[in-house]
Amino acid sequence: MYKVLKREKIVPNIHLLVIESDAIYKNAQAGEFVVVRADERGERIPLNLVDWDKNSVSMMFMEIGTSTRKFAALKAGDEIATLVGPLGKPTEMTKGKKILCLGGCYGIGALYPVIRAFKEQDNTVVTAIEARSAYLLYWQEKLKKYSDEFYEITRDGTQGLQGHINDFLQEYLRTNAVDLVYVQGCTYLTYLSSETTRPYGIKTIVGLNPIMVDATGMCGVCRVIINGETKFGCVDGPEFDGHQVDWENLLSRRKIYLKEEVYSLSFYECEKYG
């Protein structure tokens, strides 16, 4: 069992979960994830690592279904049944480049360790985060610390620029040279961003969220088609070149494994939850 050090609602539907661990930090890198399970009868859920230190690991999750509701009910001192990681491949690092990082919804938290790592490698980091309204934005000060430029976008115009983050992306690319675009968020955001950068030929790395079960490459549930080849989100990802992702296949597979209602929520969750 693993002790909960903190569970905090950051904004409506988005929670921070901090679990005691004195080992994962030794190998943790930006872009990796952990698998957690609330109790012995619960399902295994992959969550992005958003931070770590010598006695804990932190992750962000969106409260949607039964399992995430269990996590949302946790308090300091409680225990969870499973904590496995770090898993997946870390974000590929580069030096001396200008990198535009986009995040929405739970993806805002997932940006944090990545832009920190990019900045530590002497890159110029431009960060843009989006939510439906100002009250759904979070971690601005943490992200600003490692950003050379920082933008907030709200669709209702209550904070920062008004519109969709893809509108910002289109405008920014028209007037600025960028070497790499990095995107974390729902499938809708990663897909749309990839299609927007495609005509510019700018490499675009996206964090995918295919359905996972064992997260070790054994079950094959998380398989995705990348550049015409079958890959596994858990061991080959979770980050891939967005221009090589077979998006139609990814979305259809999510629909197979989830009820229609949940699938629709996943694809359009940015529109509903920010």
Question: Can you give the pLDDT at residue 146?
Answer: 98
Cα 151 to Cα 128, 129, 144, 147: the distances in Å are 5, 6, 9, 10
The Cα 105–Cα 137 span in angstroms is 8
Q: Determine the average pLDDT of the residues in 16-35.
A: 95
pLDDT per residue over 75-106, tens digit each? 999 999 999 999 999 999 999 999 999 999 88
Q: At what angle do helices 187-197 and 260-273 cross, to 10 degrees?
A: 70
CATH code 3.40.50.80 for 98-273? yes
**Taking 60 as the threshold, does the pLDDT of residue 20 lie above it?**
yes
Tell me the three state secondary structure of residue 149: strand
**Taking 80 as the threshold, does the pLDDT of residue 54 lie above it?**
yes
Question: Can you give the pLDDT at residue 216?
Answer: 75
The Cα 185–Cα 205 span in angstroms is 12
Question: Can you give the pLDDT at residue 256?
Answer: 57
Name which of 120-129, 187-196, 197-206, 218-227 the model is least confident about: 218-227
**Tokens in use for 233?**
């989100």
CA distance between the termini of the chain: 33
The Cα 88–Cα 30 span in angstroms is 10
Q: At what angle do helices 165-175 and 187-197 cross, to 10 degrees?
A: 20
Q: The domain 2-87 belongs to what CATH superfamily?
A: Translation factors (2.40.30.10)
Tell me the three state secondary structure of residue 131: strand
Question: Can you give the pLDDT at residue 254?
Answer: 65
- What percentage of the chain exceeds 70 in pLDDT? 92
DSSP character string of 92-117: PP-SS-EEEEEEETTHHHHHHHHHHH
Higher pLDDT, 8 or 211: 8
Enumerate the domain spans of the chain: 2-87, 98-273
Give me the helices (H) in 198-259, please. Answer: 247-257
**Taking 60 as the threshold, does the pLDDT of residue 271 lie above it?**
no
pLDDT band at 223 (very low <50, low <70, confident <90, very high): confident
Using the Cα atoms of residue 166, residue 263, residue 241 and residue 107 in order, give the sign of their dihedral.
Answer: positive
Q: Determine the average pLDDT of the residues in 171-189.
A: 95
Name which of 5-9, 116-120, 263-267 the model is least confident about: 263-267
Are 37 and 82 contacting, i.e. CB atoms less than 8 angstroms apart? yes
Question: Can you give the pLDDT at residue 263?
Answer: 35
**Taking 50 as the threshold, does the pLDDT of residue 19 lie above it?**
yes
Q: Determine the average pLDDT of the residues in 8-18.
A: 95
